[in-house]
């Protein structure tokens, strides 16, 4: 399978829309397959001066600004929105974009956001079970005339859901590596994503767990595309203006890689069967890094 690359952007770091629009357009022109937005509402409770654009709203705007770039959430929190609404949003945007949407979703983890926005924060096991139910509902919403499902956490009652997505199936990407979550991935996903910069031995072991779940469920393991999320800084690419997140995030400066080192880094995951890469470049240098990566690094990987 052809290797494809996506750019991950982090609205929670205070970026203006005009900047992110430029990143999307330049990434598309450089040959990137996709652009992904994290689904967060705030970076930290004390970050009262840091904007955070809502992910699905942002992707809708970028769909109108691009032509071939695929768009996805990396990853949408399954209980920030009613699962029927999530499925409706994704289907609507798939139609608006001409069939360019990934439905990226996860179980949820950022407790401070749950508390700030008044959501209950269930146990990890409950959140994974909620994700299973949410994806069951979503698939019905996308494929059946009416959706009906009565679960422990979520229900839908004779729900008409139109329009349907243009893509069939709507590509679901599930992000996460826990044992129970990987069972949900095996059951529902077209793409499995493990992030960020996971050690190759750990990555391989997690793939083995996914494969075992597939065997038990009668799912074709090979049919699930393998994706990874990478933090990657490139030498010779200067960082742009700093986003307001610096004093809130606690992120350490990344060690920049040469072209050869970056190619070797990516090839390590390819050797495990990964063919899809979602890359976070240093904040403020996304567009320049995307162009440099496709010009200098990608040719050494293929």
293: CATH: 3.20.20.30
> What would the pLDDT profile of 21-46 be if each residue is shown by its tens digit?
999 999 999 999 999 999 999 998 98
pLDDT reading at 172 higher than 90: yes
What is each CA distance from 108 to 98, 156, 182, 234, 252, in whole angstroms?
Answer: 28, 21, 14, 30, 24
Sign of CA dihedral 35, 38, 43, 48: positive
Q: What is the pLDDT of residue 302?
A: 79
> What would the pLDDT profile of 85-113 be if each residue is shown by its tens digit?
999 999 999 999 999 999 999 999 999 99
Note down the domain range covering 82: 4-301
Alpha-carbon 138 to chain mean position: 17
Rounded to whole angstroms, the Cα distance separating 209 from 101 reads: 27
Q: What is the pLDDT of residue 244?
A: 55
% of residues, the chain, pLDDT over 90: 89
What are the structure tokens assigned to 300, written together? 């050494």
How many separate domains does the chain show? 1
| Model pTM above 0.85 | yes
């Amino acid at each position: 399978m052809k290797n494809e690359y996506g750019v991950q952007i982090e609205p929670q770091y205070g970026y203006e829309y005009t900047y992110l629009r430029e990143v999307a357009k330049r990434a598309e022109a450089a040959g990137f397959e996709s652009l992904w937005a994290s689904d967060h509402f705030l970076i930290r409770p004390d970050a009262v001066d840091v904007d955070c654009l809502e992910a699905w709203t942002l992707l809708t705007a970028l769909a109108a600004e691009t032509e071939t770039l695929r768009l996805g959430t990396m990853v949408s929190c399954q209980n920030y929105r009613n699962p029927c609404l999530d499925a409706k949003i994704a289907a609507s945007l798939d139609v608006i974009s001409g069939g360019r949407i990934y439905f990226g979703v996860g179980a949820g983890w950022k407790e401070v956001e749950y508390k700030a926005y008044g959501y209950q924060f269930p146990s990890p096991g409950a959140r994974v079970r909620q994700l299973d139910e949410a994806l069951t509902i979503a698939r019905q919403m996308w494929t059946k005339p009416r959706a009906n499902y009565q679960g422990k956490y979520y229900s839908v009652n004779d729900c008409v859901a139109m329009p349907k997505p243009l893509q069939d199936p709507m590509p679901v990407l599930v992000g996460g590596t826990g044992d129970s979550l990987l069972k949900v991935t095996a059951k529902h996903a077209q793409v499995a994503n493990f992030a960020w910069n996971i050690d190759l031995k750990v990555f391989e072991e997690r793939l083995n767990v996914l494969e075992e779940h597939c065997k038990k469920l009668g799912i074709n393991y090979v049919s699930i595309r393998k994706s990874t999320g990478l933090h990657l800084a490139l030498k010779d690419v200067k960082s742009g203006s700093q986003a307001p997140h610096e004093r809130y995030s606690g992120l350490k400066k990344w060690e920049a890689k040469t072209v050869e080192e970056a190619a070797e880094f990516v090839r390590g995951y390819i050797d495990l069967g990964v063919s899809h890469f979602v890359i976070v470049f240093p904040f403020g240098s996304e567009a320049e890094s995307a162009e440099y990566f496709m010009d200098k690094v990608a040719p050494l990987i293929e």
